[in-house]
Structures are given as structure tokens and as C-alpha cells.
Structure 1
Amino acid sequence: MSDTVSIVIVSHSQDIAKGTADMVRQMVGDEVKVAFCGGNPEGGLGTNVPLIVNAIETVWSPMGVAILVDLGGAEINSEMAVEMLPPQRRDRVVVCNAPIVEGAVMAATEAAGGSPLEKVRSVAEELSAS
């Protein structure tokens, strides 16, 4: 696996997060590292900042990490997770304002081609501009 932008999927639902990650892997293969997290520690709906930090660390790449989220709480917790990273890593992680499934697939496809983080982000976010 070459150095590419990695993808983290954060959903309020563990099943949605896992299903989205599975779909990305099936469509893009092993070209891009993908991690996911979802649900709260009790197994219900929600998101968890430490799990998001762990997901980012699991797929860390010097090229950066793009995070795709499903709802506002996932976005806020993802931003909090980014703030908890070491300072030298914070600028290499972005939260994309994009639909979670379509955005993750588009971001991973762009990342697989070797694009830089900002291009990966912009391709994913093009879906929101329509």
C-alpha cells in the first residue's frame, strides 16, 4: 500500500459506519486505508471522541486523513478528536462536509489516485454543492 490519504468514517450507527467502510474497500480495494467507528460505548446510537482518535491513529498517513461524518454530533466529535491529536498531525486531518456514503467512496477513489488531502476533500465536498 502506497502512501495515500486515508479515510475515517464516523457514524452514529456502528452498522452504517462498518457498511460504508466495507463498500469503500470493495470499490477501491486496498489502495486506501479505511477505518470506521460508530455508536456509543453502550452499543446504542452516538459517537465517541476517543474512538474517533483511535480510528485516525489506526490509519494515519503523512498524506493526511479525511473524515466523513453522518450527522452534526459526529462532526463536532470529529473536530474535538482532531484537536486531541499531536499538534504536528492536526493540519493533516480534515472533516469533509459531504454525504457519508457517496463522499467516502468519492474521497477514497480520489485518494487512490494519489491526490493530496485538499483535493480529496474538495472532490468529496462537490457532492454537497449540488
Structure 2
Amino acid sequence: MSDLLSVADVAERWGVDEDDVKSAVLDHSLPFIQFGRSSQRIRWARLRFRKDAVAAWELEQQASWAPPEERQRPAASRPQVVDHALRYREVAADPRAAARRQRRLDAQSAGARTSG
């Protein structure tokens, strides 16, 4: 038995259409060997995949899944990124609006700290 797989073999292994395998090739994520003349155009009939390379690619693609109750929730309060130049322009344009905005942000952050 050969250690090389065709596009159809990989599709059968994964239980998907050949188009899904071709998509992985075009994404440059699935390593392949192309026999014959090298060109810019992929010749699908001449494409082969090493079994160990496909297995390694499958391991990389595995996503870990956790039930919703076991997922880590984001922190209640996150540090705010402040654009100081924008803040300066707001204060210069309308100091009262800037003060109202700051009070609203302070109230939101205080609420996030007490509810967490």
C-alpha cells in the first residue's frame, strides 16, 4: 500500500467532498506533492498527499470544544484603551459633553465591578 493519497482518498478519509480538500490546498494549509511539470496551475489529478502530513494537519485542525457552562467567561472589567488625542479634542470642542461622557464611563465601570 502506498503512503501517498489522492484528493479523492483524502476526501473519503474525511467524509467530505473533493472540493473541501481542494479548498484546504488552496488555503496553503494542507501540504501536498504535485507530480509532473511544475507550473503555476495546480493539476488536481497529479496531486498527492503523504499520509503522515495529512495526519499532522488533522491534529493541527482539531478544535477543543467545551460545554457552555465550562467555558471561561471574559473578565467583568477590562482595561479601557484611551485615545488621548481624541480625548483632548473632545474636551477642547465641548468640555461639558466630555465630562458627561466621562461620568457615563465611570458609572459603567463601577457597575461592572459591583455585578462581577
- Which TM-score bucket, shorter chain as reference? under 0.3
What's the TM-score, normalizing by structure 1? 0.23
Based on CA coordinates, which of the two structures has the bigger radius of gyration?
A: 2
When the two structures are superposed, what TM-score results if normalisation uses the length of structure 2? 0.24
